[in-house]
Amino acid sequence: MKDNLRADKESRPCLVVITGPTGVGKTRICTRLAEQYKAPVISADSRQMYREMKTGTAVPAADELERVKHYFIGNLSIHDYYNASMFEAEVLALLEEIFNKTRLVFMAGGSGLYIDAVTRGIDDLPAVDPVLRKDLAAKYHSRGITWLRQLLKQLDPAHYKTVDLKNPNRILKAVEISIMTGKPYSTFLHRKRKERNFGIVKIGLTMDRQELYEKINKRVDEMMEQGLLEEAKDLFRFRHLNALNTVGYKELFSYFEGAVSLEKAIELIKRNSRRYAKRQLTWLARDPEIDWFNPADRRGIIACIEKHTGSGA
């Protein structure tokens, strides 16, 4: 019986997801594992895709990119429109191609929505009229988020109760779909899991909260030393773009505008990065399929991969 189960595992290609909060060490661990298993890595970081944002998004180092094939790193411009649905379609097409050559692929990232899009699928939504999107975005920027919230409350009171009211992009999406279709956005959210023709293993990395926060603070200092200030200065004129509504950039934009000192901006980057890590952990904690490990437990992580895939490095 065990031999049959092992044979079934070995015959089926598998996607190994390495996830966790920002600063926990996902990139380093995943690169080492991929190198050991001679497998490629798909990035599931929604900001590392933008080629203009290398320092502030902590893209893998040049030697890591050289040692292991990475996908979805620097493949977009900040001027490009992109979403989780597009990511799902592109990754599934890529996996079909890669699995013809190798049975194991790694995915690294902390963008829970993007990981869910690939592993569970997201709801099929109608394409939004770009004219409507532009009009609503302009009204939001002139009237503010309170106006946007009230509009959603009128169009879809059910979704209003569950959406993150601090996230204008998600509110805009719901409003766009509701107006365009004449139906509440919530009626399109069926949450039915889509079947995948490959196995999925999810490994979460975590550590003591205080240790994580110290690592985050240290990483922000390292980013500043590596040129984050100069990178943000070059991007300042594009600060209205959604891609740049990101921790590490928006705080420095406030500094350039004279709203805060540089010292205060760096302090805010650290604070907001810690808060982001906390939100990531909350999102990931809802997924019972994730096996959690301390990043230092390499042996345990490898044992988990081999248990679920039936493969050895």
Distance CA 312, CA 268 (A): 44
Q: Is the pLDDT of residue 6 over 60?
A: no
**pLDDT reported for residue 9:** 53
**pLDDT reported for residue 132:** 84
CATH domain 130-188 topology: Histone, subunit A (1.10.20)
More confident of the two residues 113 and 100: 100
Distance CA 53, CA 47 (A): 7
- Please state which of the ranges 3-12, 18-27, 37-46 shows the lowest mean pLDDT: 3-12
SS (H, E, C) the chain: CHHHHHHHHHHCCEEEEEECCCCCCHHHHHHHHHHHHCCCEEECCCCCCECCCCCCCCCCCHHHHHHCCEECCCCECCCCCCCHHHHHHHHHHHHHHHCCCCCEEEEECCCHHHHHHHHCCCCCCCCCCHHHHHHHHHHHHHHCHHHHHHHHHHHCHHHHCCCCCCCHHHHHHHHHHHHHHCCCHHHHCCCCCCCCCCEEEEEEECCCHHHHHHHHHHHHHHHHHCCHHHHHHHHHHHCCCHHHCCCCCHHHHHHHCCCCCHHHHHHHHHHHHHHHHHHHHHHHHCCCCEEEECCCCHHHHHHHHHHHHCCCC
Residue 248 contacts residue 22 (beta carbons within 8 Å): no
* Whole-number average pLDDT of the chain: 91
pTM for this predicted structure: 0.81
Q: Is the pLDDT of residue 191 over 70?
A: no
Distance CA 19, CA 107 (A): 8
What are the sequence ranges of the domains in the chain? Answer: 2-123+192-309, 130-188
pLDDT bucket at 5, cuts 50 / 70 / 90: very low
pLDDT, average across residues 210-239: 97
CATH domain 2-123+192-309 topology: Rossmann fold (3.40.50)
